[in-house]
Amino acid sequence: MRFGSQLEINLSALEKNHQKIKAICKSNEMIFMVKADAYGHGLVPITQFSFHELKIKEFGVASLGEAMTLRAKLPRDQFEIYVFSDVNFRDERLIEVYANQRLIPVISSIDNLKIFLSNSEFRHVPLCLKFNTGMNRLGIEMNELEDVVHHLKMNGRKSIDHLMTHLACASLSIKKNKKNIEQFENFEEVKSSLKTSGISISKTSIANSGAIEQGAGLNESHIRPGLMMYGPSSLIPSIKETSLWTGELISTLKTRILRTRLIERGTPIGYGASACPGSGLVAIMALGYGDGFSTSNQGAELKFRDKNYKVVGRVNMDMTQLLLEGGVLGDINVDDDFTVWSPESENFDELCKRSKMIPYEVFTSLTTRISKNYIQ
């Protein structure tokens, strides 16, 4: 762990983001997505705060291991956990975990549905089905609807607890993008076909962050916000002005300066002896790709104390060079804190743009070497 670099997480900002989502989705229940270590913000602390303070009762993770971690760390908290992808049904030793730890597998194939229906361990576990309406990733195929109904009725099941699908292009216009229009239509067809076949459906969901930002999918019982709870928009730049979202970044990434030196343009610096593109003050900060900072961040300009520091040379595993062109000794000093991003700066957007990484990637690339500090 680095003691001089930390991710400061403002839980009050998380609460405000939650309130803003509820203002958009006035009648929807929420499955809060906390997979990938709560998008890099800390799986257990974020879930614990959201359950106790925000009164969120349902959470989504990617893997059974993530779900088991939550149950082990928060054994007394009575919330629901959906396991969305890595359900591990092929390992019989793990099947009983679902019943014993109150976990809900998201069933996305006929084979897994058969295992679920035939195994007594799942007798009292809610049935959640995910259909492929056009993303062509995980999901029961639409042409398998009759098989689904057959297996449900054959095993004495007449209801589905939660029916869901996943949008492939929610970062694009919901109203104009053909793929989005098609997926919404297909989901309506799935719901209608199941109900016509005598299968009742208790809960439904289709809206992830991008759809919620556009006020789409709110006719379903549930929404499934992920990225937006942590602040950023998930829409592409050309349609962000149409977004309903005014969320706030909940984290601030800080590090410290290890060394400073004056440098002339063209001087070799770092691995590969890259030529420094300008003259001024170079500051070495204690973040590298071993911490989640990327080699693709080279050239990014980070504003700090109203001055622009450019990432120069090659980012390495433990540190990164910053050039303050025209800077002099004393502009920034050894052991000074350096704010990489914060809600008040545009540095986060600059890093995403320069590295061609989406916010999900930037957040989830943070490693455990960076300590987390929770404030409220």
pLDDT tens, 58-74?
Answer: 999 999 999 999 999 99
pLDDT at 374: 97
Q: Please indicate, yes or no, whether residues 189 and 57 belong to a single structural domain of this protein.
A: yes
pLDDT at 33: 98
141 shares its domain with 193 = yes
Question: Is the separation of the CB atoms in 57 and 81 below 8 Å?
Answer: no
Residue 121 has pLDDT above 90, yes or no: no
The larger pLDDT score, comparing residue 186 to residue 96, is at 186
Distance of CA 225 to the CA centre of its chain: 9
* Chain-centre distance for alpha carbon 43: 11
Asked if the model's pLDDT at residue 3 lies above 90, the reply is no
Proportion of the chain in helix, strand, coil states, percent, rounded to 5: 35, 30, 40
The predicted pLDDT at position 70 comes to 98
- Inside any domain, residue 69: yes
For residue 305, being part of any structural domain is answered with yes
Global pTM reads 0.94
Do 139 and 214 sit in the same domain of this protein? yes
We report the CATH number of the domain holding residue 269 as 2.40.37.10
pLDDT tier at 91, thresholds 50, 70, 90: confident
CA distances from 226 to 11, 41, 56 (A): 15, 12, 13
The pLDDT value given to residue 363 = 95
Q: Judge if 81 and 203 occupy the same domain.
A: yes
Are 347 and 265 members of one domain?
yes
Q: What is the pLDDT of residue 92?
A: 84
pLDDT tens-digit series, residues 193-223 = 999 999 999 999 999 999 999 999 999 999 9
Q: Region 141-155: what's the mean pLDDT?
A: 96
Judged against a pLDDT cut of 90, whether residue 93 lies above it is answered with no
Stretch 21-29: mean pLDDT, rounded?
97
Same domain, 38 and 178: yes
CA dihedral angle for residue 28, residue 221, residue 207, residue 23, rounded to 10 degrees: -10
- Rounded distance, CA 107 to CA 127, Å? 8
Is 246 inside a domain boundary? no
**CA gap 183, 133 in Å, rounded:** 5
Is 203 among the domain residues? yes
Q: Is the dihedral of CA 42, 93, 121, 132 positive or negative?
A: positive
Task: From 210, 239, 268, give the residue that closes a domain.
Answer: 239
Report yes or no on 231 lying in a domain: yes
- Note whether residue 35 is domain-resident: yes
- Assigned token pair, 9: 């997480």
Please give the pLDDT value at position 4.
Answer: 85
- Per the DSSP assignment, residues forming a β-bridge with 185 are none
User: Does one domain contain both 32 and 75?
Assistant: yes
pLDDT band at 17 (very low <50, low <70, confident <90, very high): very high
Assess contact for 144 and 107: CB atoms under 8 A. Answer: no
Residues 73 and 183 in one domain: yes
Q: Do 135 and 194 have their domain in common?
A: yes
Tokens (6 digits) for 256: 């410290």
Q: Which domain holds residue 333?
A: 251-375
pLDDT at 2: 76
Q: Specify the DSSP class assigned to residue 54.
A: S
Residue where a domain stops, chosen among 211, 239, 267: 239
The reported pLDDT for the residue numbered 216 is 97
Give residue 361's Cα distance to chain centre. 9
**What does the pLDDT average to over 113-141?**
95
- Is 105 a domain residue? yes
Whole-angstrom distance, CA of residue 59 vs CA of residue 20 = 18
SS (H, E, C) 325-361: ECCCCCCCCCCCEEEEECCCCCHHHHHHHHHCCCHHH
How many structural domains are present in the chain?
A: 2
Return the pLDDT at 138. 95
79-91: average pLDDT: 94
Q: Are residues 83 and 52 part of one domain?
A: yes
Q: Tell me: pLDDT of 1 over 80.
A: no
Rounded to an integer, the average pLDDT of 24-41 is: 97
pLDDT of residue 50: 98
- The yes-or-no verdict on residue 373 having pLDDT over 80 is yes
Tell me the average pLDDT across 254-271. Answer: 95
Share of the chain above pLDDT 90, in %: 91
Nearest CA-CA partner of 70 in 98, 95, 45: 45
Residues 291 and 361 reside in one and the same domain: yes
Mean pLDDT over residues 349-365, rounded? 92
Q: Are residues 202 and 286 in the same domain?
A: no
CATH number at residue 129: 3.20.20.10
**149/166 Cα distance (integer angstroms):** 21
Is 6 inside a domain boundary? no
Q: Look at residues 176, 208, 239 and tell me which one is the last residue of a structural domain.
A: 239
Q: What is the pLDDT of residue 90?
A: 87
